[in-house]
Amino acid sequence: MGLNADISRIRRNTLLKVTHMELLIYPLILAAITGLTVVAYKQPEFYEDNFDGKIFFSAVGAIIISSVWDIATAFSFSTLKEFIPEEKFENAEKAISVIEISTEVELGIWLLFAFSLFLSWLANKSLQRNHRE
């Protein structure tokens, strides 16, 4: 019973913190998306020099790190599964779910990757347009 209560407390506290953080994070994300899009369109040379590779490789690095974390978590649990008594197995699964990377975070990482490809394309198109003019 103690482990279930701890897991519930952790989830409740985490959800409360995320809810309050959303008030700050979502507008900042929107501002960053807007700003980077404007820079990629209006100043493509500056964008390619300062942001292009950094955003792309940050997204790829985050994808690799989250994938390795998920694989390590699953592998660790499957290795330790034989040492967990059957009556405590459900609690162990709940405990593992607390340390897994959330679907929302993984989706955000993939969206960052897609956004970096879009910005690279946009800057490239803007450069082509500027060279024609």
| pLDDT given at position 18 | 55
pLDDT of residue 25: 83
Number of other residues whose CB lies within 10 A of the CB of residue 111: 13
Task: Report which of 80, 76, 98 is spatially closest to residue 89, judged by C-alpha positions.
Answer: 80
Give the C-alpha separation, 103 to 74, whole Å. Answer: 15
pLDDT at 105: 87
Provide the token pair at 82: 């034989």
- Look up the pTM and report it: 0.74
Q: Domain locations in the chain?
A: 2-132
Cα gap 95→118, rounded to integer Å: 38
Q: How many CB atoms lie within 10 A of CB 120?
A: 19
pLDDT in tens, the chain (133 residues): 566 666 566 555 555 555 566 678 888 999 999 999 999 999 999 999 999 889 999 999 999 999 999 999 989 888 988 888 888 888 888 888 888 888 888 999 999 999 999 999 999 999 999 888 7
* Of 63, 64, 59, the residue nearest 118 (C-alpha): 59
